[in-house]
Amino acid sequence: MRVLQESKPDGTSNRILLYGEGTTARVLKLFRRRSGAWRESFGAWWSRAGLRKVGFSLESRFETERRSLELWRRHGFDVPRTFDEPLPDGVEGPGLWFEHLTGPLLSEVLADSSVAWDRKRDLLRKLGAESERRHSEAEAKQEPLLIQEHATVQHRFVEGDRLVAFDFESGYGPGHPLLDAMADEVSGMLRSLLRFAGEDRFEAALGAYVEGYADRGRLLRIAERGSSGGGLRRMLRRWADRKRRGEGSKADVMDRLFALLAPRS
């Protein structure tokens, strides 16, 4: 057994362990509290009541990840394989067994100057196509868990031809507006894309993502919602985001996406 991530001294933060080697290796993710008991209880209430999200308490994060993995897999979206096996003796749960993914993160591929641009462009087109199919399914099924709450290029493994999504501890709950959720997902993905592709490659990288996203009408609506739409809460969030991050903000990348998609007068 090898420790990939250790909990903090106070017992918070997940513990991640690697068992075995080669093709039989398995990763065990053990869910732990994020904070103290009172703060976690309040956070779980605010997540549900104020943000219409799920997955803040230890138990909720475990259940949200388990349900999301099953849902994504059932609809044909690539996530790590899981295994229904008991935890090792003496190991406290809850926990999930995963396949051991050994490929680089998409963020690492994008930041690697030795990787050809054609390869990066193909991966970004694939990312856009996968996003579009999920958004279509989410709308058809009215299923917010098909939209990734924590979406970045750091949360995709590149395993050969596979682009494997991971990290589903939190998600959008019942009643969360789907267009808002999609705008948050796309803005998080594009902000991370700017960070790892770099400003000099961002326009080309954004173009590749858009090429993969087949429904341009929906993507335009998403861009508009992330750039200027929504109610007072979204307006305040955008203002705070622009003030804090400037050109690297989620609002900024959605402005750029909207400018790319909006019809010229």
pLDDT band at 143 (very low <50, low <70, confident <90, very high): very high
Predicted confidence at residue 151, as pLDDT, reads 95
Q: Which of 247, 72, 39 is nearest to 155 (CA)?
A: 72
Q: Global pTM? A: 0.90
The tokens describing 167, both together, are 């990290």
Beta-strand runs (E) in the chain: 2-5, 15-19, 26-30, 53-54, 82-83, 95-99, 156-159, 162-165, 171-172
The tokens describing 205, both together, are 């990288």
pLDDT band at 38 (very low <50, low <70, confident <90, very high): low
pLDDT band at 248 (very low <50, low <70, confident <90, very high): confident
Q: Which segment of 28-37, 144-153, 238-247 scores lowest on mean pLDDT? A: 238-247
Predicted confidence at residue 39, as pLDDT, reads 64
pLDDT band at 180 (very low <50, low <70, confident <90, very high): very high
Predicted confidence at residue 48, as pLDDT, reads 62
**Alpha carbon distances (Å) from 153 to 29, 102, 148:** 21, 16, 12
Which residue type sits at 104? P
Average pLDDT on 135-150 reads: 96
| Average pLDDT value for the chain | 90
For the beta sheet containing 26-30, the strands, ordered from the edge strand earlier in sequence to the opposite edge, are 2-5, 15-19, 26-30, 95-99, 82-83
Predicted confidence at residue 53, as pLDDT, reads 81
Cα 41–Cα 234–Cα 184 angle in degrees, nearest 5: 75
The tokens describing 132, both together, are 């579009």
Sign of CA dihedral 81, 84, 89, 90: positive
pLDDT band at 90 (very low <50, low <70, confident <90, very high): very high
Which residue type sits at 27? V
**Alpha carbon distances (Å) from 262 to 189, 215, 217, 219, 239:** 20, 14, 10, 10, 22
24, pLDDT greater than 80: yes
Higher pLDDT, 12 or 42: 12
Average pLDDT on 5-24 reads: 92
Share of residues in the chain with pLDDT > 90 (%)? 74
User: What does the alpha-carbon distance between residue 192 and residue 256 come to, in Å, rounded to a whole number?
Assistant: 14
Which residue type sits at 231? G
Higher pLDDT, 228 or 64: 64
Cα 120–Cα 131–Cα 125 angle in degrees, nearest 5: 25
To the nearest 10°, the Cα dihedral for 102, 105, 106, 109? Answer: -80
Predicted confidence at residue 264, as pLDDT, reads 72
239, pLDDT greater than 70: no
Q: Which segment of 49-63, 137-151, 176-190 scores lowest on mean pLDDT? A: 49-63
User: What does the alpha-carbon distance between residue 237 and residue 220 come to, in Å, rounded to a whole number?
Assistant: 20
CB 235 within 8 A of CB 149: no
pLDDT band at 236 (very low <50, low <70, confident <90, very high): confident
Predicted confidence at residue 257, as pLDDT, reads 96
Looking at the chain, the number of H-run helices and the number of E-run strands are: 9, 9
User: What does the alpha-carbon distance between residue 256 and residue 216 come to, in Å, rounded to a whole number?
Assistant: 15
